[in-house]
Amino acid sequence: MPGLRREEVALLAGVSTDYYARLEQGCPINPSPAVVEALCRALGLDVAGRAHWTLTGSGTEHERQRRHDRAQEQ
E-strand ranges in the chain read: none
Nearest of 3, 48, 54, 65 to residue 31 by alpha carbon: 54
The pLDDT value given to residue 19: 95
pTM, 2 dp = 0.66
Please check whether residue 14 is in contact with residue 38, taking contact to mean a CB–CB distance below 8 angstroms.
yes
The pLDDT value given to residue 57: 57
Q: Each residue of 3-59: pLDDT tens digit?
A: 899 999 999 999 999 999 998 888 888 888 888 889 989 988 888 887 776 665 555
CA 13 to chain centre: 11
Nearest-angstrom CA–CA distance, 6 and 42: 11
Specify whether the backbone of 26 is left (phi greater than 0), alpha (psi in -120 to 50) or beta: left
